[in-house]
Homo-oligomer: A and B are copies of this chain.
């Protein structure tokens, strides 16, 4: 059984494990106030070309999202997200549990549009409704699609027009930035966004996400927020070590590239064989082919993967996710198995 079910089925990249071992018996300051965290933050600041941003290391994506919302928003303020956004459905109401409504809007290929944001603004007109205050996007998205620089710029403009914070969930940022279609750089991120996180869990780390806060007014007292939400790791240096490895020599991007390459192999082989795909997905690490139900039945004996939704009576959309750890041999086996069924 080989899993293409998600991008967090394996541990960490060997460099990370080695670094953790090397530091294992050294004593470090707790709660993220250690040299590794400072060092990792320095690498990240270097990559995005800004020395004036705050960098915090948290343990997981839902945790970052809920801590951010609790910290950035006043009680009556709400987040806007595309209806396929992670915070809308897949976080067990974590944002609402901090007291804030998430306003969901239809999107285009899993992406939020400026029109979607404006529609929300138009509908929320007085104190009998929540006040939209933060725009949430994921890049790459939950459907494997990408935001272009132009799209970020337009969303930024609409945020500026209405006084909204602009926040990006970067659980799969590595895959996004190393996609062939991508035209964004790390340095673009603080230009357009008020805050974003760089996902480690899905790209080579055992766990860990690096939250970058760019906007000055969002910075004060953020460590209180981390602690209050139970998100401050006692052995915080474990996070620092991992992000040191990921950003010292661009390992992060090498791993993202590998994940995308593995997905590209599957995509091109299936496309060539005439297999269709759900939505115009970008070259990231998630692909959504439409397979026959008989093929799916056979595959399940040997592979784990996601069932997305029924396409028609005889076909189903499935999701394959590749990762930094996906083995090329497994990819070829998977392709062979699919083609055997579908041709």
Contacts and interface: CB of A to CB of B under 8 A. Distances in A.
Interface of A: 1-3, 6, 8-12, 14, 17, 20-21, 23-31, 59-67, 70-71, 74-76, 78, 89-94, 96-102, 123, 127-131, 201-202, 206-207, 221, 223-235, 238, 325
Given A10-B24, A230-B62, A231-B230, A127 B206 contact: no
A28 B9 CA distance: 5
A17 to B, nearest CB: 6
Chain A interface mostly: loop
B12 A27 contact: no
B130 A92 contact: yes
Given A3-B27, A228-B94, A127 B235 contact: no
Given A24-B12, A71-B75, A221-B74, A60 B230 contact: yes
A226 B221 CA distance: 25
A282 to B, nearest CB: 23
A59 to B, nearest CB: 6
Given A11-B20, A65-B230, 19 more contacts: A9-B29, A10-B24, A10-B25, A11-B25, A14-B24, A59-B230, A63-B230, A75-B98, A76-B92, A78-B93, A89-B123, A90-B129, A93-B101, A94-B229, A99-B99, A127-B227, A130-B224, A201-B234, A206-B235
Contact of A235 (B11, B225, B235): B11
B235 A8 contact: yes
A198 to B, nearest CB: 15
Contacts of A96: 78, 96, 99-101, 130
Given A24-B12, A28-B9, A89 B129 contact: yes
A62 B231 CA distance: 8
Contacts of A20: 11, 17
